Amino acid sequence: MQLKLTDVLAPTTSGIPKQEPLRFERTWPENLRFLLSAAYDGAKGKAYLKLYNPHTKRVELLEDNTGHLPYCYSDLDESELRAALKETIERLVGFERVRLFDALRQQEKTMTKAIAKDPLTIGGRAYSVREKVTAWEADIPYHLNYLMDRGLIVGAPYLLGEDGRLTLYTMDTSEAISIARRLKGVEERDLELVADWIRLLEADQPDLPVCGIDIEVANPIATRVPDPSKAEDKVVAVAIRGSDGRKDVHVLVEGAGPSTVEGDGYRMITHGSEREMLEEVFAVLDSEYAVIATFNGDDFDLPYLRNRAERLGIPKEKVPIVLGREGATFVRAVHVDLYSFFLNKSIQIYAFDNKYREFTLEGISQALLGKGKVKIEEPISSLSAVKLAEYCMNDAELVYNLLTFEDRLVLRLMMVLCRISRLPVEDLCRHGVSGWIKNLLYFEHRRRGWLIPRKEEILEVKGGTVTKAVIEGKKYRGAIVVDPAPGIHFDVKVVDFASLYPSVLARWNLSYETIRCPHEECRRNLVPETPHWVCTKNRGLQSSIIGALKEVRVGLYKPRSSDKSLPEGQRRWYDVVQKATKVFLNASYGVFGFEEFPLYCPPLAESTAAIGRYVFKSAIEKVRELGATVVYGDTDSLFLKGADGAILEKLIRWAATELGLDLEPDKEYVYIVFSSRKKNYLGLTSKGVVDVKGLTGKKRHIPDFIREAFNSMLQELANVRTPEDLETVKRHIADLIKTWHRKLRKREFELSELAFSVMLSKQPESYTETTPPHVKAAKILQQHGVQVTSGDIIRYVKTKDKVGVAPLHPSVKISKDQVDVEKYIEYMRSTFEQVLDSLDMDFDVIVGVGSLEQFFA
DNA sequence: GCGGACTGCTTACCT
DNA sequence: ACAGGTAAGCAGTCCGCG
């Protein structure tokens, strides 16, 4: 059955005119610039912008000429403010009465705007305005405030006028609206917002000159990481890998004169003087690249270089590094810290599909590039110049590759995320997805002339939650998981609601200002299972903006990312946009249930989940009414048996008309195996892939030995097409279990195959309640002088001795005899049982527990 | 003093 | 520092047992 929903329900996206191929390095007007970042120049007391000029391939700095100043709002009047701000009054320029829209109370409000000479007067000092009076919008970093007030979006192209004015350079609004109009499901009232997203996401992009850098420091104590704030030790190597082909590694060889040697695919430049070496490096970093990437440069490389330069007496104007409170950047380039970017959970999960686990250069590079660091046996300070050069160059190469692999995927992803969040790249890298959404919503408030509410205000006006979570300690009830029907089921079809929570947000007008709004007449518009109501008079801010983003993702970028008729380069770009929008949509509900989010609104998060449950339950009921069976379901997906094409079509049409939501056919399983456990199943999809969810056999911490044994079972299961095939395959599975079991018994394994690898999520000392095995192993490592920190993956094997575990590490000697084989058999048993249960098989019977055969094995 | 039942902690997963 | 829901292993504790 091939149900083509789009044919039934809505016009396809093929009705949308295809864009001309994306325009990289095409002919742009002479005054075209790309906005890369904004910053504050403390010395001049002014904001400035970093603009990339694609014609000269250089970054230009544009100082503010609008007279913009830092400010915040207060509900006191001028005289009250003057009295309260006596200590800092000379740093204030003045006060203005302003009218703003108070969205919480849905009414205009008069506020006093306190305008300051510098950002620290607003916040950051003991006498700052926000310390002395209740202030609004006083926590926004000044450079972000500046971008918001000028409506400027980083990552977007602008035309630079003679007067320094910047005009967004994109397709016309009318053109964007005509595209928006053809997307299905876009309401007339949201057309403009949808068009705005399209303009922004379709805008041209430059091929920025980029590089990756890495430094090495000679520290006398090998186990201690050098302190960048002191920068006491010499910088012995700096490597730069650039998109212009530069592969330079500068190495300090004291006593020797300057020389340039061609290394293996790179240039090694030796310096007799550290100072001269750094000056030469600084000159390159101050002019050649628009984007400079590091791995942990915010916390190490850049502050180290900056402070080391100062120690060496290099004049300030020759050091292009700017240190800020949150990190570091360059004067004429933007800094991208890949470490903090990859640390971002949303990036890890949604953009990279959980492909990397560890947040080290080695771990991430291995997972994404299939390459790693150069192995060295000695400490940095005792490496030969050539070895050091090779090591440092390789790291810079990895950094560069991480930024640029797959057609600059990461760089493009960052630039799209900047466009969506309206953040500069540096800020984007440093903040989590809640920071991104915060900035987007703040920006929209400013655009509309709305006052950004204070966190306490929202809580006071909107109140808390009323539902009870299933998990103790959670704030409200979440999604429903249907009990799976245990056993093997043939011909199962899955349908799911496309981006359920964002759709609910959009469809039910959910926003912090529309939930429990002040209008009496809206109180009847209740959210199921709660006493909350939703505004019927005004369109919610975040409801419309997230809704619009969802429409462009679903209507444009998702289909285009897999549209084989498009050129590959273009498809890749659409995949980047598709990924970036996914990250935003996925987080758009959760942030409102996150206490630290400045627009935290418990009833809003609670209502979103409640409507999600309502929708889900209604769908289950509808399935039954249509005569099919729900064999499993989780949050937004339904696994159906006995649902033919006609039933699916009816179901989907029902969801569209009755709920206004997209229910989509997802996978089809030839067969699927459920135990009684939720979030645990295995099935063969119609595409011939064995899909495994949640089973221990696929968890990443388990020993390779067990995973391999489990995978060999999956290979067998891939051969099952009909119930008849099952018996043969079950026999094969029994055989293979016997084989793997025998291998374990006879100790035919390498220690490394038996290693559990579990992440240490805190410092070992911080485990006060219990001492889990991986923590025991970590503590043993410490006793052997091995450094362990939070975030490390600890590898250990289970042993027969009293401790029960031994870390697997070169510095700890263990032998195969120490292994507790019984424990591993037990682990293997429980891993397999999750599947065998439902196939009417029994691990113990297969391996013959208590049998003579086993006794003599 | 010992073992089973139970609870809470921890990690990894699913949506 | 997006959310809640689920599974599993293990450490530690409670409880019964003349």
The predicted-structure confidence for A174-210, as pLDDT tens digits, reads as follows: 999 999 999 987 889 899 999 999 999 999 999 999 9
Residues near A558 by beta carbon (within 8 Å), at least 6 away in sequence: A578
Q: What is the per-residue pLDDT for A261? A: 86
pLDDT in tens, A339-397: 999 999 999 998 898 999 899 999 999 999 999 998 988 887 788 889 999 999 999 99
Contact (CB, 8 A) for A32 and A169: yes
CB-strand contact A54/C, under 7 Å: no
Beta bridge pairs of residue A247: A241
From the CA of A416, how many Å to the C1' of C14?
A: 56
Nucleotides of C under 7 A from a protein CB: 1-12
pLDDT in tens, A672-692: 999 999 999 999 999 999 999
Q: What type of residue is A500? A: L
Residues near A455 by beta carbon (within 8 Å), at least 6 away in sequence: A598, A599, A600
Q: What is the per-residue pLDDT for A63? A: 96
Ramachandran assignment for A637, one of left (phi > 0), alpha (psi -120 to 50 degrees), beta (any other): beta
Residues in chain A: 857
Sheet containing strand A92-102, edge to edge, reads A92-102, A107-116, A71-74, A135-136
CB-strand contact A113/C, under 7 Å: no
Cα A329 from Cα A332, distance rounded (Å): 9
The least confident of A31-40, A155-164, A836-845 is A836-845
Contact (CB, 8 A) for A321 and A67: no
- Judged by C1' against the alpha carbon of A431, the nearest nucleotide is C1
Rg (CA), chain A: 30
Task: Output the CA–CA distances (angstroms, integers) from residue A322 to A50, A281, A300, in the order listed.
Answer: 13, 15, 13
From the CA of A763, how many Å to the C1' of C2?
A: 24
Residue A821 scores a pLDDT above 70: yes
Phi, psi of A490 (to 5 degrees): -95, 150
Q: Which carries the bigger pLDDT value, residue A288 or residue A4? A: A288
Q: Which carries the bigger pLDDT value, residue A828 or residue A847? A: A828
Sign of the alpha-carbon torsion through A658, A664, A665, A671: negative
In this prediction, residue A851 has a pLDDT band, given cuts at 50, 70 and 90, of: low
Nucleotides of B under 7 A from a protein CB: 8-15
Task: Output the CA–CA distances (angstroms, integers) from residue A634 to A445, A498, A679, in the order listed.
Answer: 35, 13, 8
| Three-class DSSP category at A263 | coil
Q: What is the per-residue pLDDT for A849? A: 64
Task: Output the CA–CA distances (angstroms, integers) from residue A822 to A11, A745, A748, A841, in the order listed.
Answer: 61, 8, 14, 21
Contact (CB, 8 A) for A796 and A788: no
Phi, psi of A730 (to 5 degrees): -65, -40
Contact (CB, 8 A) for A57 and A101: no
Task: Output the CA–CA distances (angstroms, integers) from residue A664 to A648, A651, A845, in the order listed.
Answer: 9, 10, 43
Comparing every residue's Cα with the C1' atom of nucleotide C3, the nearest one is: A590
Q: What is the mean pLDDT of chain A?
A: 92
From the CA of A823, how many Å to the C1' of C17?
A: 30
pTM assigned to the model: 0.93
Q: What is the per-residue pLDDT for A850? A: 54
The bridge status of strand A637-641 relative to strand A166-168 is unpaired
Ramachandran assignment for A440, one of left (phi > 0), alpha (psi -120 to 50 degrees), beta (any other): alpha
Place of tokens 């997230």: A546
Range A457-482 average pLDDT: 94
Residue A231 scores a pLDDT above 80: yes
- Judged by C1' against the alpha carbon of A772, the nearest nucleotide is C10
Cα A843 from Cα A825, distance rounded (Å): 10
Cα A559 from Cα A562, distance rounded (Å): 6
Contact (CB, 8 A) for A208 and A291: yes
- Judged by C1' against the alpha carbon of A770, the nearest nucleotide is C11
Residue A856 scores a pLDDT above 50: no
Q: What is the per-residue pLDDT for A10? A: 30
Q: What type of residue is A72? A: C
Residue A853 scores a pLDDT above 80: no
How many Cα atoms within 13 Å fall on the side-chain side of residue A589? Answer: 25
From the CA of A615, how many Å to the C1' of B11?
A: 32
